[in-house]
Amino acid sequence: LAKTTQPISMDSYEGQEVNITCSHNNIATNDYITWYQQFPSQGPRFIIQGYKTKVTNEVASLFIPADRKSSTLSLPRVSLSDTAVYYCLVGVRPRDDKIIFGKGTRLHILP
Partner 1 sequence: EAGVTQFPSHSVIEKGQTVTLRCDPISGHDNLYWYRRVMGKEIKFLLHFVKESKQDESGMPNNRFLAERTGGTYSTLKVQPAELEDSGVYFCASSQPGTTYEQYFGPGTRLTVT
Residues at the contact surface with partner 1, assessed by CB under 8 A: 32, 34, 36, 41-46, 49, 89, 91-103
C-alpha–C-alpha distance, residues 57 and 75, integer Å: 10
Q: Which is nearer to partner 1, 98 or 111 (CB)?
A: 98
Is 12 or 64 the residue whose CB approaches partner 1 more closely? 64
- Nearest approach in angstroms of CB 104 to partner 1 is 8
Q: Which is nearer to partner 1, 5 or 16 (CB)?
A: 5
How far apart CA 11 and CA 19 sit, in angstroms, is 11
Longest dimension (CA), the chain: 41
